[in-house]
Amino acid sequence: MNAPASLRPESAPASEGARLSRAFVHAGIAEFARLSVGAPSAVFEALAASQGGEDLATLLGTPPQDWRAACIALAQAAPELHGPLGRLLADLKLQLHEWFAMALCGENESSYLLNLALAELQSPGALRPGLHLLSAASAALFGAPLAPLALPNHRLVRAGVLEIVGEGPMPTRSLAVAPELWALLCGDPTAWRDTAPLADGDTMLPRGFREQIPTLATMLRSGATRHVMFRGARAAGLAAAARLAAAAGRPPLQMEAATWTRQPALAAACRYAGWLPVLTLELGPGERHVLPEHPALAVPMLLVGGRDGAIEASALIEIDLPPLSAQERREAWREALASEDGDGSPCLDEDRLRSFAEHALLDGPSVRTLAGRMRLDARVRGEAPGLGHLRRARAGFGSERLRQLAQPVAREVPDDALVLPDDLLERFAALVARCRQRETLSDGLGSSLAEPARGVRALFCGESGAGKTLAASRLATILGAPLFRVDLSAVMNKYIGESEKNLGRLLDEAAALDVILLVDEADALFGRRGEGKETGERYANMLTNFLLTRIEQHPGIVVLTSNNRGRIDSAFTRRFDVIIDFPPPGANERLRLWESHLGGRAPDAALCRQLASYCTLPGGHIRNAVLQAAALDPVGDAGAGAPARPIAAERLVAALLEEYRKIGRTPPPQLLNARSAP
């Protein structure tokens, strides 16, 4: 400190730092006004009266109006201050004039009388302390320099505690402190704006990570590492961060990485409140995030992000969170659904827990959230939680983030609705088996297949209306998994790098929720690659290669469709686990389609056989024709339980002729005869 210091035998209480700072500022401003103005106005008298019995002389036990004696006493008291403010003074080795400048900026955020006093000491309208005022006050009150040109490099500014605001020459600018930071330094630990406390929900985490927690916590406490990055699903990463923070003995504070960069004072806030900042990031391939350094007020930090992008930070440890094993998922379901009956026996048996664990490859936080929804649904229905409740709970779970790039396909497809030839049904059944066994597929196989990719990539080819999307919906129905159709218009972006970022985010979200992705018109992404002579071709080739690599690493199920397999680059076919060609339906399949679509409103069987024999349209057009005919020939007001009236043959034929007209094909003459038939 500026004056000679000798430690007092007693320690000042933690709250005394705020009281001393307030009295210090009030007394200093009054003394400066006396020295510079001569006859201070009534504002300064009101400012002095507002202190009551907590003026500086009373707090320090010094003679009234003796500024030098007060400074000597302050210099002696400062090293004994406890709490956040005392630690800050010690960490940055602040002198009296620097403490005064910081306290003046802080108290100015809470005292209207101080605002008025500063307005009288500066140019009109200046309500925050200007650099010229601080320089003059430092020289007059303490005999110490605080030049405006030196302030940008001052340790208080570099540490993010103070901020220079305004434009123009340096003396005309102002100095400010974040109100939340000053409140915290004065003893108010309220969480910061744009942040939220991160609760430890005690969710199931992978065993491999749980075993690392004690070591990581020790390294954070000792300073051996300052940054730990969790890569994987966002919810799992936050749960891991909360568990590590608890082991390190620091309450976690969650925020976006942009918030940390935008508010430099957060570093000081976390250091003196004892918070462990947890930053969430969304980086695309090739993107790099540089963490701002605060060497004077270094704090440990946890980061949560996806698989892509790079972090540049000192003493960084990166952890790829592995998925839960089947046994860990069973334990997660057991803990999440734990509700004891009156006799104390568990309400769920092992078979049911095993079915939940095998149903979807979910992380611990997802299991806990879904269990709550299942329990509520089961209670309303008066049932024990089962797979039906889990399917309903998953229907809308987490879709708010996926909906930015994909749309849910909420369609339950029964077994008889998917009409395919027998050989295609066998291949489809093989795809279902591959999807169901993707987690255990490598069990018992050779060492070169010890850890295959757990995802399944299927390509459905065939002309429009052949049933590709219907087959994807049937697959989702069998597996009980939500289906999302990828919106390529939202994914693809004209700005270089944005498309890859969108695709990476889409696949990360789909993996976390274990949903099925449906990519229609995949030839737009997997078409034949050009020679790369033009810039656009080179970028398109890089985008295609990136997507192929990410889909190969994706642990979930992806179904891609194409109207023409010939448009798909042959080099890509190896990357697909299953390729199913959907040929135009034959006569038998078309008859089954007509009967399936018409249901109870089918006209006579002879007409259905005639339409199936001569009209070679794919199933999509048959569906359109049935719906249009039903609109032209409504069912009417049939009584309760009465069978629906069959659709008139002429309406059905007219709708079918319209389908031929839409696609520009000539209808068979037999169809015209059928139209005129009685």
User: Mean pLDDT over residues 222-231, rounded?
Assistant: 92
The residues that bridge with 612 in the sheet, in sequence order, are none
Q: How far apart are CA 569 and CA 528, in angstroms?
A: 4
Cβ atoms of 49 and 218 closer than 8 Å: no
DSSP alpha helices (H): ranges in 40-177? 42-49, 56-60, 67-77, 83-91, 96-107, 112-121, 131-142, 155-158
Half-sphere exposure of 386 (CA within 13 A, CB side): 5
Q: How far apart are CA 632 and CA 12, in angstroms?
A: 89
How many other CB atoms sit within 10 Å of the CB of residue 290?
10
pLDDT at 430: 92
Q: At 10, is the pLDDT very low, low, confident or very high (cuts 50, 70, 90)?
A: very low
Q: Which tens digit of pLDDT belongs to each residue from 103-131?
A: 999 999 988 999 988 988 887 778 889 99
Using DSSP, state whether 486 is helix, strand or coil: strand
The secondary structure of 395-452 as a DSSP string is: HSTTHHHHTTTEEE------GGG----HHHHHHHHHHHHHHHTTTTTTTT--GGGSS-
Q: How far apart are CA 437 and CA 453, in angstroms?
A: 12
Query: Among 64-73, 146-155, 232-241, 608-617, whose mean pLDDT is lowest?
Result: 608-617
In the chain, the amino acid numbered 165 is V
pLDDT higher than 70, residue 24 = yes
Element (H, E) at 370: helix 364-381
Q: At 2, is the pLDDT very low, low, confident or very high (cuts 50, 70, 90)?
A: very low
In 430-482, beta strands by DSSP E: 456-461
Q: Percentage of residues in the chain with pLDDT exceeding 90? A: 35
Query: Among 444-448, 500-504, 608-612, whose mean pLDDT is lowest?
Result: 444-448
Structurally, what CATH architecture does the domain formed by 196-320 represent?
A: 3-Layer(aba) Sandwich (3.40)
Pairing of strands 227-231, 252-256: unpaired
Q: Which tens digit of pLDDT belongs to each residue from 539-594?
A: 566 767 777 778 888 889 999 888 877 777 676 777 788 999 888 888 888 888 88
Which long-range CB contacts under 8 A does 191-194 form with residues at least 24 apart?
Answer: 191/253, 192/253, 192/255, 192/263, 192/266, 192/269, 194/255, 194/256, 194/259, 194/263
Which token pair is 163? 């901020």
The residues that bridge with 303 in the sheet, in sequence order, are 229, 279
Residues 132, 135, 140, 141, CA torsion sign:
positive
Q: Which residue has the tokens 């939220």?
A: 196
pLDDT at 674: 64
pLDDT higher than 70, residue 461 = yes
Higher-pLDDT residue of 620 and 146 is: 146
- Top mean pLDDT of 201-210, 243-252, 436-445, 546-555 is at 243-252
Query: Among 76-85, 348-357, 560-569, whose mean pLDDT is lowest?
Result: 560-569
Q: How far apart are CA 118 and CA 54, in angstroms?
A: 21
pLDDT higher than 60, residue 345 = no
Q: Which tens digit of pLDDT belongs to each residue from 397-429?
A: 877 778 888 888 888 888 888 888 888 889 999
pLDDT higher than 90, residue 610 = no
pLDDT at 9: 31
Cβ atoms of 223 and 292 closer than 8 Å: no
Residues 321, 323, 328, 334, CA torsion sign:
positive
Give which of 248, 261, 262 is closest to 302, Cα–Cα: 248
Q: Which tens digit of pLDDT belongs to each residue from 291-310?
A: 877 767 888 999 999 888 89
Q: How far apart are CA 328 and CA 358, in angstroms?
A: 11
* Nearest-10 Cα torsion for 253, 259, 265, 271: 20
Q: Which tens digit of pLDDT belongs to each residue from 647-674?
A: 888 888 888 888 888 888 888 877 766 6
User: Mean pLDDT over residues 386-393, rounded?
Assistant: 89
Which token pair is 219? 């390294």
Which token pair is 536? 């656009």
pLDDT at 540: 60
- Mean pLDDT computed over every residue of the chain: 83
The length of the chain, given as a count of residues:
678
User: Mean pLDDT over residues 604-620, rounded?
Assistant: 81
pLDDT at 433: 92
Half-sphere exposure of 62 (CA within 13 A, CB side): 21
pTM: 0.81
Q: How far apart are CA 330 and CA 236, in angstroms?
A: 17
DSSP alpha helices (H): ranges in 153-284? 155-158, 179-185, 207-210, 213-222, 234-248, 257-262, 265-273
pLDDT at 223: 87
pLDDT higher than 90, residue 249 = yes
User: Mean pLDDT over residues 209-213, rounded?
Assistant: 93
Residues 278, 283, 286, 291, CA torsion sign:
negative
Cβ atoms of 340 and 347 closer than 8 Å: yes
Q: Which residue has the tokens 């009295």?
A: 23
Q: Which fold has domain 326-397?
A: Helicase, Ruva Protein; domain 3 (1.10.8)
pLDDT at 240: 95
The residues that bridge with 302 in the sheet, in sequence order, are 228, 278
pLDDT higher than 80, residue 635 = no
Return phi, psi of residue 642, to 5°.
-75, 145
User: Cα–Cα distances in Å, from 350 out to 62, 299, 320, 387, 391?
Assistant: 76, 45, 30, 14, 19
Q: Which residue has the tokens 């040109």?
A: 149
The residues that bridge with 318 in the sheet, in sequence order, are 229
Cβ atoms of 140 and 128 closer than 8 Å: no
Cβ atoms of 20 and 74 closer than 8 Å: yes
Q: Which fold has domain 408-581?
A: Rossmann fold (3.40.50)
pLDDT higher than 70, residue 11 = no
